[in-house]
A and B are shown apart, each in its own frame.
Chain A
Amino acid sequence: EDKVVQSPLSLVVHEGDTVTLNCSYEVTNFRSLLWYKQEKKAPTFLFMLTSSGIEKKSGRLSSILDKKELFSILNITATQTGDSAIYLCAVESQGGSEKLVFGKGTKLTVNP
């Protein structure tokens, strides 16, 4: 059965800090790994990763995938209070419904 483990489960930092969120996975027929941000409502899409070693960036956020070691990291530099949210990692397998299997998420709190 596909499985996603995120760490840490909770993190408290000060504005301006840099954080690294971790996601390890086990999946048969890997297709992609996705990162979402959730702020008390629906998850909003951040990144989709399919190939190892290729960094995806969006402003202060970046992410990379290691398919050999089966993990991904999400980096946030110069954190702001608006980055406070739950960050969800999910994997998608090929074939079938291509449903997402999520981890429990990392709750990030950025204090001013």
Chain B
Amino acid sequence: DTGVSQDPRHKITKRGQNVTFRCDPISEHNRLYWYRQTLGQGPEFLTYFQNEAQLEKSRLLSDRFSAERPKGSFSTLEIQRTEQGDSAMYLCASRYYREETQYFGPGTRLLVL
């Protein structure tokens, strides 16, 4: 078991560009979460999948953000027309329904210039 993995680990982009992040959860974990963390803040919930179904989205997730989990395994988070305010650490976490806690990946640090 290699834990939750995320790719890329770092991304620098120019304002207005689109970016896509990938998260591979721990195998057999059917629940997958995306969070965003800015400097000096705790992680903030963005969205949640149970298997391939996206069951909850935060109001933080504007229409420029979209997330998918097409086969109930890995997930992608896309940000269109990036803005400087999107600069943050994007964390993915997964959970098996019987487990007690969410396990976090290393995160993707996004910098929008």
Residues of A within 8 A of B55 (CB): 96-97
Contacts A42-B91, A96-B56, A97-B56 given; does A104 touch B41 at CB 8 Å: yes
Contacts A42-B91, A45-B101, A48-B101 given; does A104 touch B106 at CB 8 Å: no
CA distance A102 to B50 in the complex (A): 21
User: What number of A residues sit within 8 Å (CB to CB) of B?
Assistant: 21
The one of A32, A45, A97, A103 in contact with B48, judged by C-beta atoms closer than 8 angstroms, is: A97
Instruction: Please name the residue on chain B nearest to A48 by beta carbon.
Output: B100
- Which positions in A face B, CB cutoff 8 Å? 4, 32, 34, 36, 41-45, 48, 88, 90, 96-97, 99-105
- Which positions in B face A, CB cutoff 8 Å? 4, 33, 35, 40-45, 48, 50, 55-56, 91, 100-107
